[in-house]
Amino acid sequence: MNASGSHGIDHLSDLDRAVLNIIQVGFPVAHAPYAEMAKQIGSVTEEEVYRCVLDLIERGIIRRLGAVFDTKKLGFMSALIAMKVPPERIDKVGELVSQYSGVSHNYKREHEYNLWFTLAAPSRQQLMDTLEEIKARTGVSDVLYLPTVRMHKIFVNFEIGPSVPKSTAPSDKSGIEEK
């Protein structure tokens, strides 16, 4: 086991690896995405792929399954927010922050400001109103507001192998937003 208590990549099945490779590169936007994934992998059913994804979520290997949007192209404002949260409250505050639809993700950091998250809203005023609400609900007032000045797109793909055959692998390589 590694430090986080998991068994690491060595304990992933071939199906786990194939599913993770597809999800990283391009989750199928289709009426039946798990059927499409099964077709890409071959020799598995839609149900097997769906059960695999649920298992990976339950095991904490998949933390989030969702789209990443270019907030600027949608006319939204976004910012990176850092909060100084008492360590004994960080999990509870993190859970509350994650309930907001404008929060794409949050994470703990080994830093004076120990909870960081991205926040997006249709306008600067709505973003600031949401941030004020979060501060009021959490009781945390020591917050850094770091508005997005320039958008950078990055693409990271952890080849988990065995991979989906190149002829069937999705080709869309959407980036991840970095603030």
pLDDT tens per residue, range 94-113 = 999 999 989 988 889 999 99
Sign of the C-alpha dihedral computed for residues 11, 17, 23 and 27 taken in this order: negative
Average pLDDT rounded to a whole number, residues 8-32: 88
pLDDT of amino acid 28: 92
Region class of 43: left (phi > 0), else alpha (psi between -120 and 50), else beta:
left
Confidence of residue 151 (pLDDT cuts 50, 70, 90): low
pLDDT of amino acid 55: 95
The pLDDT-based confidence of 150 (bands split at 50, 70, 90) is low
Q: Is the pTM of this model over 0.85?
A: no
Q: Are 79 and 119 in contact (CB under 8 A)?
A: yes
Pinpoint the alpha helices (H) of the chain: 14-26, 33-41, 46-58, 90-98, 124-138
Amino acid at 71: T
- Predicted confidence at residue 60, as pLDDT, reads 86
117 by Cβ neighbours in 10 Å (0-12 / 13-18 / 19+) ranks as buried
Identify which of 115, 120, 149 has the alpha carbon closest to the alpha carbon of residue 135: 115
CB 160 within 8 A of CB 21: yes
Q: What does the pLDDT read at residue 67?
A: 73
Which of 22-26, 134-138, 151-155 shows the highest mean pLDDT?
134-138
Going by the DSSP 8-state scheme, the letter that residue 42 receives in this structure is -
The pLDDT of 47-65, averaged and rounded, is 91
Q: Which two tokens stand for residue 21?
A: 């490779």
As a whole number, mean pLDDT of residues 3-13 equals: 61
Predicted pLDDT at 10: 65
Average pLDDT, the chain: 82
C-alpha to C-alpha distances, 136 to 30, 72, 91, nearest whole angstrom: 40, 27, 17
> How does DSSP assign 117-133, residue by residue?
EEEEESSHHHHHHHHHH
Q: Which stretch, 70-79, 94-103, 128-137, has highest mean pLDDT?
A: 128-137
Q: Which two tokens stand for residue 60?
A: 């904490």
